[in-house]
Structure 1
């Protein structure tokens, strides 16, 4: 399958995701857009994750109270968005494909056996 060039400006994580998916599946234009958005989100998540590594998990809120660093919530939201974007692509997972292939082989074998039994093979 031909590997499509990734969109301009993707970082390493986004490029890796783009290459993995676009190299394995033929996608429509609308699906390519969704994939591009997911790749940009993955890069943004990586940047926030790196930033959070050196940032405190607890910061002062507007009333000087201790609150979770807003990056924690942002990371959760962006990870959820990536999951929704990738789910929107409706890509088959390997197990689904293996089950589909096994059912297809079983169906072909059944048709061949019936044809032999009927004497039409």
Structure 2
């Protein structure tokens, strides 16, 4: 089976994530979309992180008071979004077995096997 092609325009961080997941697991079309969104988010996080390196952590608020740089909150929100997106993929844990061709089993195959044996995943 051919490897899943990454979406166009991914940066280095997004491409690394795609290779670590998209080229290892057999994902459905909807899961590929989720992974693509996660990869773009990872690239955006990297850009914000780089921007924050040279920016002050405290900036003036609307009333002249010092407040946290808005990028700090944005980074936190985008990191949480990546965690939710990756969680939605329901990838198997590292210690789960591989199938005969060395590729990790998909979460759907794992669920089917557990259902077949009367267990829940």
**Partner SS for 1:94:** coil
Give 1 or 2 for the bigger CA radius of gyration: 1
CA contact (8 A) 1:56 1:69 kept: yes
CA contact (8 A) 1:14 1:40 kept: yes
Structure 2: runs of 5+ lacking an equivalent: 98-121
* TM-score, length of structure 2 as denominator length: 0.77
Give the deviation of 1:27 after TM superposition.
0.1
Name the CA distance, whole Å, in 1 between partners of 2:15 and 2:3: 12
Structure 1: runs of 5+ lacking an equivalent: 99-121
Q: Note the 1:105-120 alignment, pairs <5 A.
A: none
* Moved segments of 4+, more than 4 Å: none
Name the CA distance, whole Å, in 1 between partners of 2:93 and 2:39: 19
Q: Across the two proteins, how many residue pairs are aligned to each other?
A: 97
Q: Note the 1:20-99 alignment, pairs <5 A.
A: 20-95=20-95, 97-98=96-97
Give the deviation of 1:64 after TM superposition.
0.4
